[in-house]
Amino acid sequence: MNGKNIISIIAIMGLGLLIGACAYNQEASSVYETEADKRAADPRNKNYRSGDIYSGYVAMTSQSRDMQDDDFSNPGFLWVDIGEGLWSKVNGSKGKSCASCHGSAAKSMKGIANTFPRYDAKTKKMIALQAYLNRHMVNDMGAKKWKWESKNMLAMAIYVKLQSRGVPVKAGLNAQNRPFFVKGKKFFDQPRGLLDMSCKQCHTDNAGNMARSNVLSMGMPNGFPTYRLKWQKPGSIHRRFIGCNKNVRAKPYKRGSEEYTNLEFYMLQHAAGLKWETPSVRN
Amino acid sequence: MASKPRVKLPKSVKKGQVVQIKTLIPHKMETGRRKNKKTGKKIPQHIINKVEATFNGKPVITADFHAAISANPYFVFHARINESGTFKFVWTDDKGKSISTSRKVTAA
Amino acid sequence: MSNSLSKYENTLERRDILKLLGLGTMAVATSSLINSDALATPDAATKHLAKLSGSSSYKSGKVKIKMPTIAENGATVPISVSVESPMTADNYVKAIHVAAEKNPQPQVASFHLTPLSGKANISTRMRLGKTQNVVAVAVMNDGSVHRVSSQVKVTIGGCGG
């Protein structure tokens, strides 16, 4: 038995432990089984399903759903407020605000969430919303870049995507972007890291099962940037990818990397039919 | 202190009506128990430790918060409104800084 | 392959396997609220509330606490406390104090009400470092104190950095 086999065996057992009864508390495992079913049974979930797929909303507790459903108390809306302020604020040497060219965000940005990541003719690769915004601000406004996970970038990404809320996810595949969809799918299906686990193993094969006390979601991007209770602030989907990769002991890629941009694009495709929820509330 | 707080309450009520008031304010509520991953030094506590709501200058409710209150403090309470006037909300942090906002209410 | 698996099941405890996977350390590390030294105890919470309320004998029934039985995430757990009271000048709730029995410190929040509060009903969101009881006491204007507690299960999440 060589080293690689041992690691595979441990990884498989690890997966078994993760998705099976909680290892720490025998009594808790019976609670978990009803808990997963209980969450799935919430009548609100019907707006968050489409055929066989469902959004992470379905995997949350009732209290987290309450938090997302109330636009006043959803903490993500604190960043909507900031984004709304930024939209009308002059930014850069050309003395313009987003509103100067784009007018009302509700009109001009409706449905835009479905167009990111998009194929970029300049680089001949896919470009994510945050990367596009930075290029747009630098070139067209004479403004400075914002860091991917900064208050301003999160606020703007949330504010822009909010304008697509309720719109069904629909990102067309064409000759140009299809190769990147294929790359993204390959990443999603590929086991990686010390634990030798793929996104697919948890989020497709075991969606709806419990990983310790969390119900595994299908890994849908339609609520991002999301207000994550664990982070106690909103975060981008690339941030989430980094965390997931670290947790299977794989070296993470950078925000805006080709790998994560392609992965995000693939995930957008497999969310087709769900509605945009940004800013969602997740664990 | 942080950016704009959110307040939700009705603009007009009947005299004597009891209304629900919701508030939400961005703040990290740094517990003082976390360590800087690079330097190993403790990140000092920085929290909102007081929220005061008054109506026409009279106290309605005061909250003392400790580090166990979650980030972006959410606080919902009630008030009996007997007359028209102005609500004032003040959030104060443990550095002595404060943010305030007001809302007018008409009671008929 | 299956022979090798059963060999591992026989020789290793679950905890050992988790340690090998490094999941044990990950589970502990996820909680930033917990410090490895002093944690509050139910005694500390009781003392803290007795000091605040000026009483260590409690009535029950008038004060209710609403919290989830299982927290989605210990960092943000919704809590509501309500007290039956007409909230008139002669009969009102002066204060509601909330404490946690097994957080690093027992104090969570204190609410000082007035008859203008109209209803003795407050909500907020709190942090819980582990499964524990959350205790609320309501102090009436006549000095009587009512108490209630609720257990919340706080568990380690599955994954996701």
Residues A270 and A173 in one domain: yes
Chain-centre distance for alpha carbon C118: 26
Cβ–Cβ contact A14 with C under 8 A: yes
Q: So what's the pLDDT on residue C15?
A: 47
Residue A32 belongs to some domain of the structure: yes
Q: CATH 2.60.40.2470 residue ranges in chain C?
A: 37-152
The closest alpha carbon to A245, from A197, A283, A201, belongs to A197
CB-based contacts of C49: which residues, under 8 Å, 6+ apart?
C97, C99, C106, C135, C137, C147
Residue A143 belongs to some domain of the structure: yes
Interface test mutation site (partner C, options B78, B82, B83, B86, max chain C beta carbons within 10 A): B78
Mean pLDDT confidence for C111-135: 97
Domain total in chain A: 2
Q: So what's the pLDDT on residue A272?
A: 96
Q: So what's the pLDDT on residue C21?
A: 46
Q: What proportion of chain A, given as a percentage, has pLDDT over 70?
A: 88
Backbone angles phi, psi at A157, to 5 degrees: -60, -40
Residues of A in contact with C20 (CB under 8 A): 10
Shortest CA gap C114–chain A (Å): 25
Q: Is domain B6-107 given the CATH code 2.60.40.10 in the classification?
A: yes
Q: Which residues pair with A226 in a beta bridge?
A: A235
Q: So what's the pLDDT on residue B1?
A: 52
Q: So what's the pLDDT on residue B81?
A: 97
* Residue A2 scores a pLDDT above 80: no
User: Domain boundary residue among A120, A144, A162?
Assistant: A162
Flag the least confident range among A2-16, A155-169, C4-18: C4-18
Q: pLDDT tens for residues A129-147?
A: 999 999 999 999 999 999 9
Q: So what's the pLDDT on residue A8?
A: 53
CB-based contacts of B61: which residues, under 8 Å, 6+ apart?
B52, B53, B77, B79, C111, C112, C113, C114, C117, C122
Whether residue A125 contacts residue A276, with contact meaning beta carbons closer than 8 Å, is answered with no
Residues A48 and A174 in one domain: yes
Q: So what's the pLDDT on residue C157?
A: 75
Residues A112 and A202 in one domain: no
* Extended beta strands in chain C, E state: 63-66, 77-83, 93-100, 107-113, 120-126, 132-140, 145-152
Q: How far apart are CA C153 and CA C31, in angstroms?
A: 14
Task: Select the more confidently predicted residue: C26 or A235.
Answer: A235
A25-54 residues touching C, CB cutoff 8 A? 28, 31, 35
* Residue C72 scores a pLDDT above 80: yes
The verdict on pTM exceeding 0.90 is no
Whether residue B70 contacts residue C76, with contact meaning beta carbons closer than 8 Å, is answered with yes
Kindly state the tokens that stand for A20: 């099976």
Residues A59 and A43 in one domain: yes
Whether residue A262 contacts residue A179, with contact meaning beta carbons closer than 8 Å, is answered with no
CATH number of C37-152: 2.60.40.2470
Q: So what's the pLDDT on residue C152?
A: 96
Residues A271 and A183 in one domain: yes
Shortest CA gap B34–chain C (Å): 6
Whether residue B25 contacts residue B2, with contact meaning beta carbons closer than 8 Å, is answered with yes
Q: So what's the pLDDT on residue A15?
A: 52
Q: How far apart are CA B75 and CA B84, in angstroms?
A: 23
Q: How far apart are CA B81 and CA C116, in angstroms?
A: 7
Other Cβ atoms closer than 10 A to B39: 8
Chain-centre distance for alpha carbon C63: 16
Of C35, C110, C114, the CB nearest to B33: C35
Nearest CA in chain C to A11: C21
Q: Give how far Cα A47 sits from Cα of A34, A54, A179, A265, A274, Å.
A: 22, 9, 32, 23, 8
- CATH code for position A97: 1.10.760.10
Q: How far apart are CA C105 and CA C45, in angstroms?
A: 8
Residues A122 and A244 in one domain: no
Contact between chains at B24 and A75 (C-beta distance less than 8 A): yes
Q: How far apart are CA C149 and CA C159, in angstroms?
A: 30
User: Domain boundary residue among A129, A162, A195?
Assistant: A162
Cβ–Cβ contact B99 with C under 8 A: no
Residues of A in contact with C155 (CB under 8 A): 22, 28, 212-213
* Residue C99 scores a pLDDT above 80: yes
Q: Give how far Cα B85 sits from Cα of B14, B16, B55, B67, C87, Å.
A: 13, 13, 7, 33, 21
Residues A190 and A268 in one domain: yes
Kindly state the tokens that stand for C44: 């500390």
Residue A22 belongs to some domain of the structure: no
Mean pLDDT confidence for A194-205: 96
Residues A42 and A90 in one domain: no
* Residue C19 scores a pLDDT above 70: no
Question: ipTM of the assembly?
Answer: 0.95
Cβ–Cβ contact B24 with A under 8 A: yes
* Residue A201 scores a pLDDT above 50: yes
Residues A62 and A38 in one domain: yes
Mean pLDDT confidence for A186-194: 97
Dihedral of alpha carbons B1, B7, B11, B14, sign: negative
Residues of A in contact with B3 (CB under 8 A): 78, 81-82
User: For residue A51, what are the domain limits?
Assistant: 3-17+28-72+169-282
Mean pLDDT confidence for C43-55: 92
Q: So what's the pLDDT on residue B61?
A: 98
Q: How far apart are CA A246 and CA C84, in angstroms?
A: 49
* Residue B62 scores a pLDDT above 80: yes
Residues A185 and A268 in one domain: yes
In angstroms, how far is the first alpha carbon of chain C from the final one? Answer: 31
Q: So what's the pLDDT on residue A213?
A: 79
Q: pLDDT tens for residues A74-128?
A: 999 999 999 999 999 999 999 999 999 999 999 999 999 999 999 999 999 999 9
Output the average pLDDT for chain A: 90
Of A66, A213, A244, the CB nearest to C155: A213
Q: Give how far Cα B18 sits from Cα of A243, B14, B21, B50, B54, Å.
A: 46, 9, 10, 23, 15
Q: So what's the pLDDT on residue A33?
A: 60
Assign A242 a pLDDT band (cuts: 50, 70, 90): very high
Q: So what's the pLDDT on residue A211?
A: 84
Sketch the domain layout of chain B as residue ranges.
Answer: 6-107
Of C18, C20, C72, the CB nearest to A229: C72
* Residue C114 scores a pLDDT above 60: yes
Mean pLDDT confidence for B73-80: 98
Nearest CA in chain A to C7: A9
Residues A92 and A113 in one domain: yes
Unique residue bearing structure tokens 């007001």: B102
Q: So what's the pLDDT on residue B28?
A: 96
Q: So what's the pLDDT on residue C11?
A: 42
Residue A23 belongs to some domain of the structure: no
In angstroms, how far is the first alpha carbon of chain B from the final one? Answer: 37
Q: So what's the pLDDT on residue A3?
A: 53
Whether residue A193 contacts residue A249, with contact meaning beta carbons closer than 8 Å, is answered with yes
Three-state helix/strand/coil letters over C44-83: HHHHHHHHHHCCCCCECCCEEEECCCECCCCCCEEEEEEE
